[in-house]
Amino acid sequence: MPLNLPVVDTPQGVEKGALYVVATPIGNFEDITLRALNVLSGVDMVAAEDTRLTGRMLSRYQISSPLISYHDHNEAERAPQFIQKLQDGISIALVSDAGTPSVSDPGYRLICAAIQAGIKVIPVPGVSAAIAALSVSGLPTDAFVFLGFPPKKQARRMALLKDIENEPRTLIFYESPKRVLSFLNDALAVLGNRSGVVCREMTKRYEEFIRGHISEMLADLSGRREIKGECTLVFSGKNKDNPLSAESLESSVSEFLVNPAESPGELARKIALKFGISRKAAYQMILSEKAKGEQ
């Protein structure tokens, strides 16, 4: 049931002619902030990515501000219209379907145009899927790189991954359920078997966190008939976890020498998965360590 949150009847502090960039929930309407509710109820209009979805949220909190659509397909046309309204003293709240506008969502063009026109742009912070996922990832949070949605085409996606394969900071991506398996396969091939988490349906009823190495995430999701819900993926940076050390490698090679029934190729595969390196590099290390043991 909706909570009886204190919404100001006559909101104070909503400036005329200002553009408010308002973060909204990513799934659970109760994650809305009190300030966001007050701003949304006090502005002259709300520019929404999906007026139906935003309309349901506003209705829940008995907010009747006029809604106007603003999305990727009409952004070029609507942005100049909104700038004119702002210059005429109309206050506008910009919202996306979920999370913070312009962060992998429409809004960038309007915000840039407003700044260039000397219009006041005011953030109303709140939920961000990227930060929510990072906060529960168990990976370093002192430095991270947010990369949004990877390219849909594999060639461009692989190029992006190769550009960042040596990035030491924690990596954050968004991906659709239709492409998450393809992306994980490409990430495994380029980045190696890093640890991380796939956050699916965050804040919703079927919220799920799939933790482990990329190969384990792949194994889990590949076995499903259908994958639902947008995904936020967080991977460790280069050498941030399971760094390949001489001691750990020697231990793995010793295991092979004790059990000669396991081929060097199979051991190389296991080491490559464990330490996030190429199978070729792992194989060469095995041969080198084996040669030392035979001296």
For the chain, give every domain's residue range: 19-127, 130-235, 246-294
Q: How far apart are CA 101 and CA 23, in angstroms?
A: 7
Beta bridge partners of residue 170, listed in sequence order: 144
Q: How far apart are CA 167 and CA 29, in angstroms?
A: 35
- Each residue of 233-244: pLDDT tens digit? 999 999 744 445
- Residues 192 and 166 sit within 8 Å (Cβ to Cβ): no
- Each residue of 165-214: pLDDT tens digit? 999 999 999 999 999 999 999 999 999 889 999 999 999 999 999 999 99
Q: What pTM does this model have?
A: 0.77
The CATH architecture annotation of domain 19-127 reads: 3-Layer(aba) Sandwich (3.40)
Q: CA torsion angle for 165, 170, 174, 179 (degrees, to 10)?
A: 40
The CATH H-level superfamily of 130-235 is Tetrapyrrole methylase, C-terminal domain (3.30.950.10)
